[in-house]
Structure 1
């Protein structure tokens, strides 16, 4: 997205999708209202804070842009929800009894969650982000939930490193190139399971990152976020973090399940998904402003946001209040919880009266910098554009 003339900054554009209409500013692109937003949350997420969420559907809820705050960890009550299939019933009633089978190793074995809890327990902070976060800013109208910035959060997972489990089983097969995880959703009878099942393959090089998690933010992993057990790959897009994981295999090839073979592939607009296209695995460096979002007073203002490095530590974060013409380095807030967590940031700056397009730009330790423009693609995946994620603020 290129910068627009100042005369367009007050105009509004309606972006439609199945089940949602979003009012956004051409410059700020901040969702303002949804005429068909449900009045109540679905039963399986009744415990969440509805005031912090935008309900897109029974299986998709987005965190309000202004609900992130300045803390590192996103409260579970505020965290977005994205389910590819309806959550199974009753599986969190006795979470310690849930079983996961490990295959493609020297000594295949089935573990209960209770078994795993007796192993080397650890906690990892990481960003959970849907591949389509930022889809609402694409102009070609990609299908799927019209996420703006709220299909992301930073949480603390607790569980056992998969690498420790594999060592106990004698190591994985030498020809394994992928780790394939299968979810435990109940599939409709009479249909080819491969067309619906949630089964994802990630490169075996990610093994040292993978966690089998049974807690999130120091509480038992809820059903809405994959409980009783989730396959978590820090630094990777959310679809690879398989919920209700029931089987893990070390495989030579990627799964042929539709969600892997043709789904979540980065492809040109109008092109069908295929196995030879890039898969939505590692997340890129990215940031966005979280406050202020609409209006501010003249004089000293504190500009807040969050930045993530994907699989790398962050080097710096910059903020511009004039649409990217001039940049100032902001400072990170709070503790550094590692390369997979995001870093809240703040910049104190004086703002004169008028309209200001506020944008942010993150750079990681490898020198990767957040790009100004999005990469056009059919499904609206992986949007890290700093132009798209800016906000237009009226200062008076």
Structure 2
């Protein structure tokens, strides 16, 4: 049986090590990326300035692809478990709302539907229903897209469209219980974002509205804090639906409606977007939707910034996560996957939805090395060697794609 997720009362985090982790994450903006690190292939926007709504982030740790897509540099992840705000990636499907929505956070309203007693609740009312904290990997569905040889459309993410975050809010199941439970026959949990939609077009063609199986309610949360502070506008504040184990698009930002529905949303982002269509094809409702994440890992250092290492003992380190399951082990290869050795899981275990840092001590003589990592989850799923080809460049978990070449003098 896999371990249960960490879902701790807020007072526990404040009293224990979780608070220290969050404080460290907030205090650290991350190391500056070395000059030798190159942007993602095809990343024309790598030298763009940070957009105004994310201007507080650390530019040396980031690659700015566009005003809505900002990536963490591989060498900037460091060795902590929690990803600091200043380094965390940004992916918005629509422009962020005006910052005025944060002026009175507790007044933000969300409509709860598909329950016995549907109603609108303010954020202030949600806070009185209970508070919990969980650690979760937030990862864009297209993380690793740049490694697809056919170069799918979309942002050419390397590994930096991911991070591990502490979320605080109220579990969805508590809200549902307070409203009498879910109506019969409701198979999906559907979240609707509160971005301002362009005028003169069909709202369903652009609105961010995603459906996940209703069973996801067991772990889902309506969150108003991130790493111990109110969620910034760039990351979905004042209120975000958080669905642990699922790709980031399913954790709807600026959530204004949470509905239990008999069918999936008919918004285009659901019916045609984020579908696993064959190469050269287009998404449609008959194809699998990009939802649950699976086991994945990659190496973050040393030498991933392109700098030449000196022949010596090194601590090879990276991150691993299982998506829906905990990480059981990580192996490291120094020879492009010909041989594997067991790495050590380092740091605290924050639950099955968080990532684990891993470390492997090695002596590297002068030469060229291809370093790779391969994770196994608690139910025996092994990170695959090859990616699953698809038109959107989604769900790349290939250890071969994520391997790195380092030079040792």
State the TM-score, normalizing by the size of structure 2. 0.88
Distance 1:139 1:327 in 2: 26
State whether structure 2 residue 171 is matched by structure 1 residue 161: yes
SS of the residue 1:66 aligns to:
helix
Structure-to-structure mapping, 1:197-212, within 5 angstroms = 197-212=207-222
Question: Which residue pairs with 1:11 in the alignment?
Answer: none
1:78-127 deviations in whole A, cap 9, x for unaligned? 00000000011111111110000100000001111100111220001000
State whether structure 2 residue 131 is matched by structure 1 residue 121: yes
Question: Which residue pairs with 2:75 in the alignment?
Answer: 66
Question: Which residue pairs with 1:274 in the alignment?
Answer: 284
State whether structure 2 residue 350 is matched by structure 1 residue 337: yes
Structure-to-structure mapping, 1:233-252, within 5 angstroms = 233-252=243-262
Residue 298 of structure 2: which of 288, 294, 297 is its match?
A: 288
Distance 1:347 1:36 in 2: 34
Tell me if the contact between 2:45 and 2:66 (Cα under 8 Å) persists in the aligned partners. no
SS of the residue 1:260 aligns to:
helix
Question: Which residue pairs with 1:47 in the alignment?
Answer: 56
1:308-359 deviations in whole A, cap 9, x for unaligned? 1101011100000000011110011110000000001100011121100000
1:5-44 deviations in whole A, cap 9, x for unaligned? xxxxxxxxxxxxxxxxxxxxxxx99848956534421110
Tell me if the contact between 1:134 and 1:383 (Cα under 8 Å) persists in the aligned partners. yes
Q: Which runs of 4+ in 1 moved over 4 A?
A: 32-36
Distance 2:74 2:295 in 1: 18
Q: CA deviation at 1:259?
A: 0.3
Distance 2:58 2:343 in 1: 30
Tell me if the contact between 2:345 and 2:358 (Cα under 8 Å) persists in the aligned partners. yes
Number of equivalences: 369
SS of the residue 1:91 aligns to:
helix
Question: Which residue pairs with 2:88 in the alignment?
Answer: 79
SS of the residue 1:323 aligns to:
coil
Question: Which residue pairs with 1:7 in the alignment?
Answer: none
Which consecutive unaligned segments of at least 5 residues does structure 1 have?
1-27
Question: Which residue pairs with 2:369 in the alignment?
Answer: 356
1:344-377 deviations in whole A, cap 9, x for unaligned? 1100011121100000000001100000000100
Residue 313 of structure 2: which of 284, 295, 300 is its match?
A: 300
State the TM-score, normalizing by the size of structure 1. 0.91
Q: CA deviation at 1:385?
A: 0.2
Tell me if the contact between 1:29 and 1:137 (Cα under 8 Å) persists in the aligned partners. no
Structure-to-structure mapping, 1:5-154, within 5 angstroms = 31=40, 36-89=45-98, 90-154=100-164
Structure-to-structure mapping, 1:383-394, within 5 angstroms = 383-394=396-407
